[in-house]
Structure 1
Amino acid sequence: MRHLPRQVLLALLTVYVVWGSTYFAIQVALKSFPPFLMIGSRFLVAGGILYLWQKLRGAANPTLREWRDGGIIGILMLGGGTGLTACAQQYVSSGLTAVFIACSPMVLSGLSGLFGDWPKRREWTGIVCGFAGAMLLASDGQFSAQPLGILLLLGAIFSWDIGSVLSQKKLSMAAGGMGFASEMLVGGLFLCIVSLLRGESMHGEMTWNALAAWAYLVVAGSLLAFTAYMYLLSKVPAGLASSYAYVNPVIAVGLGVVFGGEHLSGKALLAMLIILGSVVMLTTARQPKVKESNA
């Protein structure tokens, strides 16, 4: 970490802290917003703001191919990844959701192997241990009572990681903020269309807490943290970029227990420690190298 550029360290810190708190923010926003509408409108607004900001700075519009590639990544990462996570949080607490999402680096390591970058022995050990921890967590009271929540989270993990790998290996978005804006605009529009097709509508009274949580997701979760994550994917290996997964649960669990009245059983705590340990093993298995940039 000491040898990483300051911009990379700042991006890592942003993703670690902000995304750790967004699980709790989603839980609060869901009290008034339906899941797909909440996430879709979040990314549409954030993408629109970022797009206008880039145009004011003189950035060129993405080409048709860059819109296509950014759209594919946006639908996978935002539509499938974030959208399904929000749906899952209707059944599972924010803290345990964050812990389960910590399995993401294991899936990402396996998917990278399909492009010739197979995990090393220590990484395979981390993957096996992490899978065992995930199964232990799935048998906990909250998860075992809500099998739909597990399926939604598994779908979210695979969708997010497939999008992450494709953004590194196959697809090419527009450079800089315009690429992130196109990704959020297409992903947000996709989620709003899904919301419309599902017949979602606002439920319950619109509270200031829910509105503030939604605004926090737009500004901090999307404009800051998501942009920082996409920057990391363009600069560092996927394992280091996804290392947020073992920091987020600590923050999410703490916020859920202190402010959300959530409880953590002994079995869930043990599973969490196994998962986090395996992710640390995965992310420290290789010496990180920052990718050179022509910019």
Structure 2
Amino acid sequence: MPSSSSAPSRAAIIGAFAIVYLVWGSTYLGIRYAIDSIPPLLMAGSRYLLAGLLLYSFMRLRGAPAPTWRGWGQALLIGICLLTFGNGGVTLGEQYISSGLAALLVAVVPLFLAVLGWLSGVSGRPTLPVAIGLLIGMVGVYLVARTPGVSHVALPGHETLGISLVLTAALLWAIGSLYAKKHQPASSPFVSGGMQMMCGGALMLLAGLVRGEAHGFALASVTAQSWLAYGYLVTLGSIVAFSAYIWLLRAVEPALAGTNSFVNPVVAVLLGWAVAGEQLSTPTLIGAALIVVAVVLVVLGRR
């Protein structure tokens, strides 16, 4: 992937989208397995803190310049929106709702990005093809995730709370993405990503401690399945995919970068069917086709 100082190639952009689409789509299931035996905010906070430390240290050892205090302040704000409230809200929400429903609710992110980006002046007014694509995408995600969930939910009976948490997380993710488009904590998107993960992860970890998640928790009680999911979330889900997303925010329009919220549910539901025994129906396949159409419209509408 090229540095931030050079024009991004088509191959680099396609590669980054492939990572964000596929890897982040799989993290819904990864989160589900990880929080089976690890408290949610302790899991998410330590995941991003560890990933951020590894990525930031690696880039600094390679000679990347140290960021300024102003850059750290910007990274803190972005980390709060994207990770502490964005990812943290989804992680908490998945205690109460299925991974498919969580993916459906997160699909409002491109709509938030398009509207808020236009109102804030970060991006232009959505064209008609983009607007149509966003609406088709939401319909497609609805069809993908509409099948009643049969997967394990850690704390059933609180669906309204779970929905509220995930929708709030989606809004703050969009706000953080737009802020990140205009404010770059460091010249390298990978240094920026490491900074944001450290800041957001540390605050999530603190929130988990304040909630009392450490009481009664022991590392010995973590299952092998949760450890494997945790390792996947740290490496591919955080270091690789989050860095790719931060890079995409610099390379393309925010609403286009946000189309991962349409594609991720397809990956999430297909993996839920293949790995966790969740239902897969004809509406899912129709929804997946609509999502492909939606992404094409958003891409072509930006030209």
Short-chain TM bin = 0.7 to 0.9
Partner of 1:166: 179
Partner Cα distance (2:160, 2:142) in 1: 12
Partner Cα distance (2:177, 2:240) in 1: 18
Mapping for residues 173-252 of structure 1, pairs under 5 Å: 173-176=185-188, 177-201=190-214, 202=217, 205-252=221-268
Using the TM superposition, name which of 264-273 and 171-180 deviates more.
264-273
Deviation, structure 1 residue 236: 1.4
Using the TM superposition, name which of 33-42 and 174-183 deviates more.
174-183
Query: Match of 1:99, SS?
Result: helix
Partner of 1:110: 115
Using the TM superposition, name which of 173-182 and 277-286 deviates more.
277-286
Using the TM superposition, name which of 109-118 and 269-278 deviates more.
269-278
Partner of 1:100: 105
Contact 1:127 1:278 in 2 (8 A): yes
Using the TM superposition, name which of 156-165 and 198-207 deviates more.
198-207
> 5+ unaligned residues in a row in structure 2: which ranges?
1-7, 151-156
Partner of 1:148: 161
Partner of 1:119: 126
Once the two structures are superposed, residues 204-253 of structure 1 have per-residue CA deviations (whole angstroms, 9 ceiling, x without a partner) of 93111101100110000011000011111111122332222222222111
Aligned residues: 284
Deviation, structure 1 residue 142: 5.1
Partner of 1:38: 43
Does residue 261 in structure 1 map to residue 268 in structure 2?
no
Query: Match of 1:284, SS?
Result: helix
Deviation, structure 1 residue 129: 5.0
Deviation, structure 1 residue 17: 1.4
What is the one-letter code of the residue matched to 1:173?
Answer: P
Contact 2:101 2:145 in 1 (8 A): no
User: Normalised by the size of structure 2, how large is the TM-score?
Assistant: 0.83
Partner Cα distance (2:145, 2:26) in 1: 22
Query: Match of 2:259, SS?
Result: helix
Change (3 A) 1:237 1:260: same
Partner of 2:4: none
> 5+ unaligned residues in a row in structure 1: which ranges?
288-295
